[in-house]
Structure 1
Amino acid sequence: MSLNKLNQLYRAVVLDHASHPHHKNDLADATQSIELHNISCGDDIRVFVKITTNKVEKISFTGNGCTISQASASMMTDALTGVPITKALEECDAFFQLTMGQTVPTTTQNDLGDAAILGSLAAFPARIKCATLAWHAAKTALGGEENEYNNFE
């Protein structure tokens, strides 16, 4: 696929998720929720997770932000819904690796679904915070990292 067609595909996928986000709603029966802020871009994300039997039964988000943060949050909810917690944490880490320009196995990229396309953001360091904000919130809600701060910097 030519670079131009790849760029068009990237734009189409990101814009579709940002314009029509999946699972963008409060989750009344959430067992965990966390809100994080990206002060460098102004993104605000609250992630809601319903965990049952060591599995992410449901995950959703609310908030406002740039196109990349909203699209990434939508992609994250698709990737983590119905996944065992240990696998969800691994997928969060894989997403962080991709956005930092590191290689992850093809099977893991497939598990990330549309979110794998955001690996190209490694070339744009200022946008990495936007893309990873919801994933940090999800990882924290799943008990995989501690965020004692309210502002993601």
Structure 2
Amino acid sequence: MSDLRELYQEVIFDHNRSPRNFHEMKDADHSADGHNPLCGDQLTVFLRIEDGKVADASFVGHGCAISTASASLMTEAVKGLGVDEVESLFEDFHAMLTDAAPAGRDFGKLEVFSGVREFPARVKCATLAWHTLHNALAGVRDTAKTE
């Protein structure tokens, strides 16, 4: 099990050091801001939706390793998904971090965050980008907060 935990940590560190889709998207048609006042994580999520699907996703901001890695992996995971699929993934991801992963859900690389549930304060770090994504999709102008 420690080998798996080490692999998960390496994936998180890799996405923190070299976040994917880390740029402001000039042609975004959806965006939202997020802030975790407890630890200072702050980000903006950008989306371009075409034909009811996420054609592109990116983010900018700063935060801890878990927050940055979560945003990076999230942007990779949602590309090509329908808006309803993204919302379902958000709900299942949140459940994985707070309770138990829904049976039958393949989280792919997002599985690296399953151990975060052991550290309740870090759940807010891992879910900030997702709450911000939800606000962007819903057109909510208020800043997403995990506090």
Q: Quickly name the TM-score band, shorter chain normalised.
A: over 0.9
Structure 1 match to 2:129: 134
Report sequence identity in percent.
36
Taking structure 2 as the reference length, what is the TM-score of the superposition?
0.93
Shift of 1:150: 5.4
Deviations for 1:117-138, whole angstroms, at most 9, x for unmatched residues?
2021111001000000000011
Note if contact 2:9-2:112 (Cα within 8 Å) is conserved in structure 1: no
Query: Structure 1's 74 and 103: CA in aligned 2 closer, same or farther, altered over 3 A?
Result: same
Structure 2 match to 1:123: 118
One-letter amino acid of the structure 2 residue matched with residue 105 of structure 1: A
Deviations for 1:97-131, whole angstroms, at most 9, x for unmatched residues?
0110323133x2x2x32112202111100100000
Note if contact 1:75-1:113 (Cα within 8 Å) is conserved in structure 2: no
Structure 1 match to 2:87: 89
One-letter amino acid of the structure 2 residue matched with residue 25 of structure 1: H
Structure 2 match to 1:66: 64
Note if contact 2:47-2:56 (Cα within 8 Å) is conserved in structure 1: yes
One-letter amino acid of the structure 2 residue matched with residue 67 of structure 1: A
Shift of 1:147: 7.0
Long gaps (5+) in structure 2: none
Counterparts of residues 29-44 of structure 1 (less than 5 Å)? 29-44=27-42
Long gaps (5+) in structure 1: none
Structure 1 match to 2:74: 76
In structure 1, distance between residues paired with 2:34 and 2:102? 26
Runs of 4+ in 1 over 2 A off after TM superposition: 146-152
In structure 2, distance between residues paired with 1:150 and 1:94? 19
> C-alpha root-mean-square deviation of aligned residues, in Å?
1.6
